Amino acid sequence: MNTVKWEGIYSALLTPFDNADGVDFELFEKNMHAQVEAGIDGLVLGGSLGEASTLSFEEKNELVICAKKFAKNKLPVILNIAEQSTREAIKAAQNAERNGADGLMVLPPMRYKADEAETLEYFKTIATNTSLPIMLYNNPHDYKIEITLNMFEQLGKIPTVQAVKESTRDVSNVTRLKNSFNDRFKILCGVDTLALEELVLGADGWVGGLVDAFPAETVAIYRLLKAGKYQEALKIYRWFLPLLELDIHPKFAQYIKLAALQTGLGSECVRAPRLKLEGAEREKILAVINGAIAARPKITW
């Protein structure tokens, strides 16, 4: 891929593990196949949902290589960069480029709550040390650092900073970005429960979580909206919302992995310190998932 359009449905892929705590690449490819068959537009590897904090440097390399071999340059492969130091972030970005990644999703510094100047320098330094296009991840709710409009103005001077995963949980931020910068930055919704709202407000795409278990429904909402079929999209979205709410819980990896298990696209295996769901909690989440599957809408567009 020579360019990344940053439009449409980008799947924040789960990282499947086997019973020996290794990456299950066969299951990883099975899930990617389902995503591609449904018509998604890009693959995002090693994000929060992909249990990035538990993956080794070597495993991230292997995931990129596997995804690139699978995708065969038909859609972009994006690697998440979530590091504690600028030096390690540069290393990860350059290694992703060597392994064929088409772009990067970059979080602000992990653990340390950098101020505005430090965060800007972090992003700028990464961008100047790789030629890959970048989508910034703006998620102050979880990561405590907000990329403000003033910061976007500075970062807009860097051609490779092209998009934002909008996860502030304030849907009006889509309009603020459009009012301030027109189409300088592509905007992709990063919160499943706000996707329809942000797409209606002009977001260019959606980095989905429940897409790992329900790819066809996720793609259908996007395509129906783009075709002007709002009521049809809304009907699917209303059915989808109880599932989408699994994406905004601290155990979202466990919840979405359970959903993927139930739709035949994943397993429950997580990497410690996460543990598999048990008892009443598991039964509660299963009830949500299985209830939705029983009422699953027929997808046509």
Mean pLDDT, residues 118-127 taken together? 97
Domains of the chain, by residue range, sit at: 8-294
3-state secondary structure of 244: helix
Residue 2 pLDDT greater than 60, yes or no: no
pLDDT in tens, 216-256: 999 999 999 999 999 999 999 999 999 999 999 999 999 99
What's the rounded Cα separation, in Å, for the pair 116 and 113?
A: 10
Mean pLDDT, residues 189-193 taken together? 98
What's the rounded Cα separation, in Å, for the pair 104 and 92?
A: 10
- Determine if residue 18 is left, alpha or beta; phi over 0 gives left, psi from -120 to 50 gives alpha, anything else beta: beta
pTM confidence score: 0.96
pLDDT of residue 299: 87
pLDDT in tens, 123-180: 999 999 999 999 999 999 988 899 999 999 999 999 999 999 999 999 999 999 999 9
How far CA 7 is from CA of 42, 121, 144, 242, 246, in Å, comes to 9, 27, 26, 25, 24
pLDDT in tens, 218-227: 999 999 999 9
The tokens describing 193, both together, are 């429960």
3-state secondary structure of 211: helix
Peptide bond into 273 cis (omega under 30): yes
What's the rounded Cα separation, in Å, for the pair 180 and 183?
A: 9
Q: Does domain 8-294 have CATH number 3.30.1360.120?
A: no
pLDDT in tens, 24-57: 999 999 999 999 999 999 999 999 999 999 999 9
pLDDT of residue 1: 43
